[in-house]
Amino acid sequence: MLAGIGVGGALIGAVALIAWIVILVWLAERILRYIGIRTSWGPLDPRNVLITFALLTGVIHLANYLLDQIDSSMGGTDGGVPLTFPGAFLIGSVAMAVGVAAVRWRWKQNDRK
């Protein structure tokens, strides 16, 4: 499977994956803080983590769906794009990013004390 893309393609993929995770951690940390400030829930509060996970997964999945719809309409295909369950890559990367962001925010709170 990876033999066809070569070393350069694998390197670009690795850099893109790292950038994706960094952006997700940054977004998750901002959402966690926003929810935490508004509700006074801590960074590791399960409600805060679950709401952030659901928001990020939903927004990314629906944005991807809308991009697929635009691509379908621009391409002139008649059939609509099915809205399916999010893929394992999306769920896993968002779960990892939310967990890392919650721990980072907790560490930052402990450093200030």
Q: What is the pLDDT of residues 81-105, one digit of tens each?
A: 787 888 888 899 999 999 999 999 8
Domain that holds residue 83: 2-112
Dihedrals φ, ψ of 5, to 5°?
Answer: -90, -20
Number of domains in the chain: 1
The per-residue pLDDT for range 66-76, each reduced to its tens digit, is 888 888 888 77
Task: For residue 43, count other CB atoms closer than 10 A to its CB.
Answer: 21
Q: What SS3 state is found at 81?
A: coil
Widest Cα–Cα separation across the chain: 59
Mean residue pLDDT across the chain: 88
pLDDT above 90 covers a percentage of the chain that reads: 52
